[in-house]
Amino acid sequence: MLPDGAPRALALSDVAVHAGVSHQTVSRVVNGHPNVAPATRERVQRAITELGYRPNAAARALVTGSTRSFGLVISHINQYGPAQTLLGLEKAARAAGYSLGVAILDDDSEAAMREAVDRFVAQSVDAVVALSTYGQAVEALRRFEAPVPLIAVQVGRDESRPTVWVAQEVGAELATRHLLELGHRTVHHVTGPPDSLEARGRVVGWRRALEQAGAPVPEPLCGDWWASAGHAAGRALAARVRAGQEDVTAVFVANDQMALGLLSALADEGLSVPGDISVVGFDDVPECEYFSPPLTTVRQDFAELGRRGVELVLARLRGEPLESQPVLPQLIVRRSTGPARRV
Amino acid sequence: MLPDGAPRALALSDVAVHAGVSHQTVSRVVNGHPNVAPATRERVQRAITELGYRPNAAARALVTGSTRSFGLVISHINQYGPAQTLLGLEKAARAAGYSLGVAILDDDSEAAMREAVDRFVAQSVDAVVALSTYGQAVEALRRFEAPVPLIAVQVGRDESRPTVWVAQEVGAELATRHLLELGHRTVHHVTGPPDSLEARGRVVGWRRALEQAGAPVPEPLCGDWWASAGHAAGRALAARVRAGQEDVTAVFVANDQMALGLLSALADEGLSVPGDISVVGFDDVPECEYFSPPLTTVRQDFAELGRRGVELVLARLRGEPLESQPVLPQLIVRRSTGPARRV
DNA sequence: TGTGCTGTTGTTAACGCTAACAATCGACCA
DNA sequence: TGGTCGATTGTTAGCGTTAACAACAGCACA
């Protein structure tokens, strides 16, 4: 009924008057303190619902020093992994009674990272979760002296700071070994961007698996996560095949988008998958199953990552220094991989 | 140097003492008020940087009643469109000096929507932007009487509430007309989930284009945005082709993921695209170009959507009732569409 | 019947900030 | 020379909440 011009929001004292008690008693009821007589509690409860009172978060934050909120610093939110992690994180945070502020990094520079964290600090969030896995932003994180707990997710192990991460090397080894076991002499690799820690981890795992098997380690092709880079890599590999290079029969691509581009390029070049070349991706995006052919890949449980991130934050806030275990990836075999062709 | 146990954050008064002025003068400097003598201003500035002071957002919010933050209610964040919109929205909000809280809906029920908005209200955000385009959540939005400005994005036109939206019908018409102009007798349609307003808008546009051209309107196939549904639809259409149904030569699929599934099914069934069947998608996800074949689709500028959402919010906060124009989609022709085969 | 406890309620003082008003100081003009 | 005005600065109050303490009842026990 009232025009939009605010009728001044209800305060504790309004409820107190309505219920005939002091504002402190109302506060006690709101916060579930023990020593309140059942009759009083009920009377206050009724007043609260009748008036539709809701506590003022700012006033609370001012006096308690806690906003019951986290800040999430994130980049590349339009990619599957980060989006999925955000999903898990928000849900877990909400379940724990925290709300989530989001800052999306324009670029992965130290300055951007610092500015985002700063803004959260000014908002007095209770903790900041950072999910940038790129270059200087990661370095920046390592050195930060923030006046709030700062938790890193998905940046690989870090001794100096609490961290949650997926064991990228393990996933890459899984993929590479799978191909070697199918009889391929070696496995080529299309990497992610060089400044990504995840991309580097996958390179390490791939190389390790090859070396352990005594297989030659070819020069990796450099990509950037996007399908276009995979396409370029596919053309490059096809050229090598045409030039008679015999060992190009298996490729481990650092993510599914690039694998899609690669499949497309190979098809254009008249190479069959897995007949001529076997391909493995990474991430297990939901569309994998409908690539041509359906893509063998490594699944990362991003939602779990988000969940563990929140766990770590909460443990930290409670003062328990929880040692977090890495999340383990899993190989999903589909139809893009097959036995090496006999030469 | 100090142990983590807080040394009590700096307050206005600390700066005041350090600079030898009153706390109010410091406040004036911080907020850029005019009447401060240049010498004083500089002295205060120096004190601020020396001490590393940062204003307390909670105290500010308490007294001004504004947190300089928006709440974003969103669902399906792991899909391309919502993620991209979030990106545009956050950037625009940040540029305007607002921070962004995010609530992700567990499901598209009215209860979930109501709870999310409630939580933002309790946090006293300055405005809530809602980006759910599904069933009851939309209905809920329509009826909400929130004590803060509530802006809806992407839910189609709404007379009762400020809205930003993409003209879905226009996009669907573009796609359908493109196929008709290539000589196809009619165009089949794979829809999104029936409770999605966007999906409904696309059905409307598709139907309208067919009717305007005097083409028969076949029964649409019902999907859910996911590639698996597109795959199922593809098999169903292939079955019709085998059964001799002649008019199955063109399909407009309500999004790119489903189009991918459909392409995969058609390939499995030995049908060529665009030789036997032409396919158009919707969204223009970055991978489109690398589908087999590259997908003709309708591009939506999601980032622009986010930007306009913020514009609308800001206009509303300033009290200017801005009439927002719809964002117009655009047809991107690639290789999945071609002329109808002669019968 | 007085003493001390326990459970319940009220009173007061912060938290850090901005808004409103008051005070001071020159300068300028009549 | 006194008064007025504008620019600058300081003082005070209050935003809505929680924490700390004070007050008061009722009860058990000596």
Q: pTM of the predicted model, to two decimals?
A: 0.87
Strand extents, DSSP E, chain B: 69-74, 99-104, 127-131, 150-153, 163-164, 188-191, 221-222, 250-253, 278-280, 297-299, 330-332
Nearest CA in chain B to A121: B54
B294 contacts in chain A (CB < 8 Å): 264
List the A29 CA – D27 C1' distance (angstroms).
Answer: 25
B25 contact to strand D (CB, 7 A limit): yes
Predicted confidence at residue A259, as pLDDT, reads 97
Instruction: Round to whole Å and give the CA distance between A265 and B292.
Output: 10
In this predicted structure, the answer to whether residue B61 has a pLDDT above a threshold of 90 is: yes
Please, are residues A254 and A190 in contact by the beta-carbon 8 Å criterion? yes
Looking up tokens 């992690």 gives A85
Q: With an 8 Å Cβ cutoff, is A2 touching chain B?
A: no
List, for residues A51-81, the tens digit of each pLDDT value.
Answer: 989 899 999 999 998 999 999 999 888 888 8
Q: With an 8 Å Cβ cutoff, is A57 touching chain B?
A: yes
**Mean pLDDT, chain B, whole residue set:** 89
Report CB contact under 8 Å: A286, B61: no
B35 contact to strand D (CB, 7 A limit): yes
In this predicted structure, the answer to whether residue A184 has a pLDDT above a threshold of 90 is: yes
Per-residue confidence band for A207, with pLDDT thresholds at 50, 70 and 90:
very high
Name the β-bridge partners of A330. Answer: A299
Nearest CA in chain A to B93: A103
A290 contacts in chain B (CB < 8 Å): 227-228, 230-231, 260-261, 263-264
Nearest CA in chain A to B83: A78
Predicted confidence at residue A161, as pLDDT, reads 73
Q: With an 8 Å Cβ cutoff, is A322 touching chain B?
A: no
Across B196-210, average pLDDT: 94
Predicted confidence at residue B156, as pLDDT, reads 66
Q: With an 8 Å Cβ cutoff, is A123 touching chain B?
A: yes
Query: Who among A54, A62, A292 is closest to B62 (CB)?
Result: A62
List, for residues A13-27, the tens digit of each pLDDT value.
Answer: 999 999 999 999 999
Q: Tell me the nearest-neighbour CA distance from B202 into chain A, angstroms.
A: 22
Q: With an 8 Å Cβ cutoff, is A101 touching chain B?
A: yes
The pair of three-digit structure tokens given for residue A299, joined into one six-digit string: 């699944």
Residue B248 CB-density burial (10 A; 0-12 exposed, 13-18 middle, 19+ buried): buried
Task: Specify the nucleotide whose C1' lies closest to residue B23 (CA).
Answer: D10
List the A141 CA – D14 C1' distance (angstroms).
Answer: 40
Predicted confidence at residue B149, as pLDDT, reads 87
| Lowest model confidence (mean pLDDT) among A247-261, B137-151, B295-309 | B137-151
| Centroid of chain to Cα B271 | 35
Q: Which amino acid is at B20?
A: G
Please, are residues B262 and B242 in contact by the beta-carbon 8 Å criterion? no
List the Cα angle B66/B68/B69 in 5-degree steps.
115
Predicted confidence at residue B3, as pLDDT, reads 34
Positions on chain D within 7 A of a protein C-beta: 7-12, 14-20
Q: With an 8 Å Cβ cutoff, is A136 touching chain B?
A: no
| Lowest model confidence (mean pLDDT) among B60-69, B205-214, B313-322 | B313-322
Q: With an 8 Å Cβ cutoff, is B86 touching chain A?
A: yes
In this predicted structure, the answer to whether residue B306 has a pLDDT above a threshold of 80 is: yes
Name the β-bridge partners of B72. Answer: B102, B129
Instruction: Round to whole Å and give the CA distance between B129 and B132.
Output: 10
List, for residues B208-247, the tens digit of each pLDDT value.
Answer: 999 999 999 999 999 999 999 999 999 999 999 999 988 9
List the B33 CA – D8 C1' distance (angstroms).
Answer: 12
Across B330-340, average pLDDT: 96
Distances (CA, A) of A163 to A177, A251, A316: 28, 31, 11
Q: Using DSSP bridges, classify how beta strands A330-332 and A278-280 pair: parallel, antiparallel or unpaired.
A: unpaired
The pair of three-digit structure tokens given for residue A22, joined into one six-digit string: 């002091």
Instruction: Round to whole Å and give the CA distance between A126 and A103.
Output: 15
Positions on chain C within 7 A of a protein C-beta: 7-12, 14-20
Q: Tell me the nearest-neighbour CA distance from A233 into chain B, angstroms.
A: 13
The pair of three-digit structure tokens given for residue A88, joined into one six-digit string: 């898990």
Per-residue confidence band for B114, with pLDDT thresholds at 50, 70 and 90:
confident
List, for residues A81-101, the tens digit of each pLDDT value.
Answer: 899 999 999 999 999 989 999
Per-residue confidence band for B2, with pLDDT thresholds at 50, 70 and 90:
very low
Per-residue confidence band for B343, with pLDDT thresholds at 50, 70 and 90:
low
In this predicted structure, the answer to whether residue A221 has a pLDDT above a threshold of 70 is: yes
Looking up tokens 């009215």 gives B110
A263 contacts in chain B (CB < 8 Å): 290, 292
Q: How many CB pairs under 8 A join A and B?
A: 141
| Lowest model confidence (mean pLDDT) among A113-127, A259-273, B2-16 | B2-16
List, for residues A132-162, the tens digit of each pLDDT value.
Answer: 777 666 667 667 777 788 888 876 666 667 7
Instruction: Round to whole Å and give the CA distance between B127 and B71.
Output: 6
Q: Given strand B278-280, what is the order of strands in its sheet?
A: B221-222, B188-191, B250-253, B278-280
Q: Given strand A221-222, what is the order of strands in its sheet?
A: A221-222, A188-191, A250-253, A278-280
Report CB contact under 8 Å: B263, A290: yes
Please, are residues A283 and A298 in contact by the beta-carbon 8 Å criterion? yes
Please, are residues A112 and A137 in contact by the beta-carbon 8 Å criterion? yes
Across B160-165, average pLDDT: 78
Predicted confidence at residue A6, as pLDDT, reads 45
Give Dmax (Cα) for chain A.
Answer: 91
Nearest CA in chain A to B81: A78
Query: Who among A58, A261, A290 is closest to B61 (CB)?
Result: A58
Q: Which amino acid is at A248?
A: V
Q: With an 8 Å Cβ cutoff, is B56 touching chain A?
A: yes
Of B14, B331, B294, B301, nearest in space to B175 by CA: B331
Q: How many C-alpha atoms does B43 have within 13 Å on its Cβ side?
A: 14
Predicted confidence at residue A343, as pLDDT, reads 52
Instruction: Round to whole Å and give the CA distance between A228 and A183.
Output: 29
Q: Which residue is nearest to nucleotide D18 (CA to C1')?
A: A63
In this predicted structure, the answer to whether residue A1 has a pLDDT above a threshold of 50 is: no
List, for residues A242-299, the tens digit of each pLDDT value.
Answer: 999 889 999 999 999 999 999 999 999 999 999 999 999 999 999 999 998 999 999 9
* A317-326: long-range contacts, CB 8 A cutoff, minimum separation 24: A317/A126, A317/A127, A317/A149, A321/A162, A322/A162, A324/A162, A324/A163, A324/A164, A326/A157, A326/A164, A326/A165, A326/A166, A326/A167, A326/A170
Q: With an 8 Å Cβ cutoff, is B54 touching chain A?
A: yes
List, for residues B22-37, the tens digit of each pLDDT value.
Answer: 999 999 999 999 889 9
